[in-house]
Amino acid sequence: MTIPNYSFYERDTLQVAKDLLGYKLLRRDGDKILEGIIVETEAYKANDPACHAYKGKTPRSVTLFKKPGLSYVYLIYGMYHCVNIVTEPEETAGAVLIRALEPIGSFDNTNGPGKLCRELKITKELNEIDVTNPESNLWVEKYQSIKSSQIVETTRIGIKQATDWPWRFYIKDNKFVSKF
């Protein structure tokens, strides 16, 4: 049971997005722990028109420029939250969007970025949490490593910019991946 450290997230966003597949996302809710296996991710970087940080720092996107290993939680369409983990060195924008989890334990319905946040009770309160610290209410642990032959690389979903960049990754044949 190891927890990836600062330098794990300080690398290239695409590399981190691939490596995070098969890792666990854990959420402490009072005395309960909700956990799931990350089965689908997307990469967002500074020179990427679809990234919130594309046009520079704003009150919302400033988190993307901070230390790698922090969470980035925001509200989309007024009703759904999305979780990301900040990557790349400080002052370089980058993040990995967690799009789907394979649930462990008693919860379910985590095959989409908005749904998994609802299930894990992730809100803006959990923005800028250090996910390398197991004392946090939200953190990531190494769980299983996925062979590169089991990783599918494809285009991102739900965006209108740079739709042809293959920056979405998921575990082959996993039934908890969000639908196309």
Partner DNA sequence: GATAAGATGTTA
Partner DNA sequence: AACATCTTATCA
Euclidean distance between CA atoms 24 and 145, whole angstroms: 11
70 or 134: CB nearest DNA? 70
Q: Which of 75, 104, 152, 162 binds DNA (CB under 7 A)?
A: 75
Q: How many residues bind DNA (CB under 7 A)?
A: 37
Q: Which of 79, 106, 147, 175 binds DNA (CB under 7 A)?
A: 79
Quick check: 55 binds DNA (CB under 7 A)? yes
Give Cβ neighbours of residue 157 (< 8 Å, ≥ 6 apart).
42, 99, 168, 178, 180
137 or 178: CB nearest DNA? 178
The least distance separating DNA from the CB of residue 159, rounded to whole angstroms, comes to 4
**Which residue type sits at 153?**
E
User: DSSP letters along 154-166, please?
Assistant: E--SS-SSSTT--
Quick check: 59 binds DNA (CB under 7 A)? yes
Euclidean distance between CA atoms 178 and 175, whole angstroms: 8
The least distance separating DNA from the CB of residue 73, rounded to whole angstroms, comes to 10
Quick check: 30 binds DNA (CB under 7 A)? no
Quick check: 154 binds DNA (CB under 7 A)? no
Quick check: 51 binds DNA (CB under 7 A)? yes
Q: Which of 80, 128, 162, 165 binds DNA (CB under 7 A)?
A: 80
97-116 binders of DNA (CB under 7 A):
97, 109, 112-116
Residues that bind DNA (CB under 7 A): 42, 44, 50-52, 55, 58-61, 64, 72, 74-80, 82, 84, 95, 97, 109, 112-116, 124, 156-161, 178
